[in-house]
Amino acid sequence: MTKNNIQTETLYQLLSLIRHELRTPINAIIGYAEIVQEDLEEIESSSAKKCNYVIDQAHELLEIINNLLVSDKKSKSESFLLKECFSKVLLLMAPSIENIFLKISELRDEIIDEELIQDLEKIQIATTKLKNLVYSLESIYENFQDSLKIENTTFNISNDFFEENTEDVLNQSTQKARRDLLGRILVVDDNQANVDLLERQLTRQGHQVTTCLSAKLAIDILEQHLFDIILLDVIMPEVTGYEFLKFLKSHTEFQFIPVVMISALDDFQHIVQCIQIGAEDYLPKPCDPVLLKARIEASLERKKLRDKEVLYTHQLETLSSIMQNELDKGRQMQKNFLPSEIPNKKGWEFSTFFSPAKQLSGDFYDLFELPNDAIGIVVADVCDKGVGAALFMGLFRSLIRIFSGQTLLDGLHLESHKILDLESLRREDNYQPALEAISLANNYVALNHGDTGMFATIFFGVLDTKTGIMKYVSGGHEPAFLLDSQGNIKQVLNSTGPAVGMMVDLPFQIQEVEFKNGDLFCVYTDGIPESKSITGSFYGMDHLKEMMLQTYDSADHLVQNITGAVIKHIGEAEQFDDITVVGIRRGF
């Protein structure tokens, strides 16, 4: 960059800073004058018109600054920085400044309220500062021109160019217990007048306001207190508003606090830069009270919505963790309802497969010993899924074991109501009392839990391992298959009654089937034919029958082939329903 380009760029910096410095006291004049005017209008004082006059004069000063101290880089003209331009600014602004002094003096003579008098003094202080700046413009220009005459020297514009008599003092505002408290706001600005004015305006709106005069002090405050929004000045010594904004957005504990930038800089580039860094909004000085209130409320509303979202997410995560823990316990408990060991009978093979679709299942199977070398075989599917189905799964399983007499073998007796006689169970080929467990379980559930609408499809068979005869009841269950050793379907075991638990005294027929050497038996839940692929197609009964029409050398081989084909069909799709299969083979 050439020396002329450097000097031209420096002129633009100076001009921008002059506009910033002149607008700062004008902002204070307008802000405090509006506060005084509002209070006077509440008591219907005629002096309120004089405040309106002060506000109008301040806006005229802003218009003068905007019209005369506006840079145009495209024209590369430096005429706006000529000494005559500064003289013109002084000439035009001086009357308005003097008019403000005059009106403030008149108001002080008319007002007796101590708080209003303090506000008038702040207007007077701001007006005095503005007057001193305006009258020093010519000397500022002279000093600036002298600096440009120095060979190979660039002029670094900063706030130190203007004599500031502010001290870095933390000013914690008094926390007012107001019922209409809206938000906790941190105001960061190196200008004490701006800080005081914003604090007054925001406190009157019902906010809890904390102020400080530097970004470094703001960091200490943020580490100790929570805030809903930060109002941040752009031009500050040591750490600028840009740098502090970058710091906030790069730290997880602060990055979601909305930041509204407030500055007298009017360059659109500054606005874009702040928004790109992560500012929520940008307000020019002087801040219009109505606009300030609207922007603050909008930012607070977004903050509160995000806080609710974070809280809701945290609650969901906590609840999810609790539920997951409880589901894990439930799943482990449900596993205890399944047989821990498969019966071992000479000449017989038993194989099982169980895959719940959810953490808790409505499917279950059971294999348990009965008198006379008999085996109880249960495969059931409780309607619905999840916790409710899992609870009824445990109920149905326990009822069948109790009513079938299995518990009598464990020495458990019902003293007042003996459902079964153990001796009658031991009589040869007397399995009807055991199979009546389905009718008893049906009546129990229908009478005691009929209002829940829960029921189950149940296959319950009692296999005589000595004769190979199995008597069974199928309450609304899927058809089971008896296969010979050559891969032929010998018999299809269809339902012998309705689903269990819907109504009292439903009829359930007992039927029987005979196993020959080499025969295989397969019973399953509807999770097999109703398994869905990624395209939504069902596995279906046709595919299942195709799997049956094969030769198998063991019960394990049968179960593994069927379940393997189903799992392959499901593929990447989510398992739709619980899958349960029990296979039995009689050896040669």
Q: What is the mean pLDDT of each run of 10 residues along the chain (588 residues)?
A: 54 70 83 86 85 87 76 46 62 83 85 85 85 74 56 43 36 34 83 83 84 89 88 85 88 86 72 83 78 82 80 75 70 77 92 87 90 91 82 89 70 44 48 82 93 93 94 96 94 96 93 95 96 94 93 95 95 91 94
Shared domain for 277 and 402, answered yes or no, is no
pLDDT of residue 516: 95
CA distances (Å), 539 to each of 354, 382, 483, 547, 569, in order? Answer: 17, 21, 21, 11, 7
Separation of alpha carbons 469 and 513, rounded Å: 6
Q: Which domain holds residue 59?
A: 1-165
The separation between CA 275 and the C-alpha centre of its own chain, rounded to angstroms, equals 25
Q: Provide the CATH number for the domain around residue 565.
A: 3.60.40.10
Separation of alpha carbons 445 and 443, rounded Å: 6
pLDDT of residue 234: 84
Q: Provide the CATH number for the domain around residue 40.
A: 1.20.140
Shared domain for 397 and 454, answered yes or no, is yes
Shared domain for 288 and 399, answered yes or no, is no
Beta-carbon contacts of 467 under 8 Å, excluding residues fewer than 6 positions away, are: 429, 514
The separation between CA 561 and the C-alpha centre of its own chain, rounded to angstroms, equals 44
CA distances (Å), 464 to each of 219, 347, 374, in order? Answer: 82, 12, 5
Shared domain for 402 and 531, answered yes or no, is yes
Q: Which of 293, 312, 335 is the last residue of a domain?
A: 335
Shared domain for 341 and 443, answered yes or no, is yes
Write out pLDDT tens, residues 423-466: 544 444 556 777 889 999 999 999 999 888 899 999 999 999 99
Q: Which of 300, 319, 335 is the last residue of a domain?
A: 335
Separation of alpha carbons 200 and 32, rounded Å: 9
Separation of alpha carbons 505 and 423, rounded Å: 27
Name the residue with tokens 């002084």: 90
Helix (H) or strand (E) holding 196: helix 192-204
Pair type for strands 469-475 and 511-514:
antiparallel
Separation of alpha carbons 168 and 485, rounded Å: 96
String of DSSP letters for 132-174: HHHHTHHHHHHHHHHHHTSTT------GGGS--------BPPP
Write out pLDDT tens, residues 57-92: 888 888 887 776 665 444 444 444 455 566 677 778
Beta-carbon contacts of 216 under 8 Å, excluding residues fewer than 6 positions away, are: 168, 238, 239
Structure letter (DSSP) for residue 79: G
Tokens of 507: 């009829």
pLDDT of residue 547: 93
SS (H, E, C) 457-508: EEEEEEEECCCCEEEEEEECCCCEEEECCCCCEEEEECCCECCECCCCCCCC
Helix (H) or strand (E) holding 433: helix 432-435
String of DSSP letters for 309-333: HHHHHHHHHHHHHHHHHHHHHHHHH
pLDDT of residue 87: 67
Q: Which of 335, 367, 398 is the last residue of a domain?
A: 335
Shared domain for 348 and 303, answered yes or no, is no
Shared domain for 140 and 201, answered yes or no, is no
Shared domain for 291 and 434, answered yes or no, is no
pLDDT of residue 4: 55
Find, among 482, 477, 492, 459, the residue nearest to 555 by Cα: 482
Shared domain for 548 and 523, answered yes or no, is yes
Separation of alpha carbons 398 and 261, rounded Å: 69
User: CB–CB of 68/89 below 8 Å?
Assistant: yes
pTM over 0.85: no
User: CB–CB of 302/280 below 8 Å?
Assistant: yes
Find, among 522, 523, 495, the residue nearest to 510 by Cα: 495
Separation of alpha carbons 441 and 447, rounded Å: 10
pLDDT of residue 354: 93
Name the residue with tokens 């000397």: 139
Label residues 217-233 b or e (16+ Cβ within 10 Å = b). bbbebbeeeebbbbbbb
Q: Provide the CATH number for the domain around residue 278.
A: 3.40.50.2300
Q: How many separate domains does the chain show?
A: 3
pLDDT of residue 289: 77
SS (H, E, C) 96-111: HHHHHHHHHHHHHHHC
Cβ-defined contacts of 134-137 (< 8 Å, 24+): 134/22, 134/89, 134/90, 134/93, 134/94, 134/97, 135/90, 137/18, 137/86, 137/89, 137/90
Shared domain for 137 and 248, answered yes or no, is no
pLDDT of residue 84: 58
Shared domain for 538 and 442, answered yes or no, is yes
pLDDT of residue 362: 85
As a 3-state breakdown, the chain gives helix, strand, coil percent values, each rounded to 5, of 50, 15, 35
Shared domain for 537 and 396, answered yes or no, is yes
Separation of alpha carbons 342 and 312, rounded Å: 47
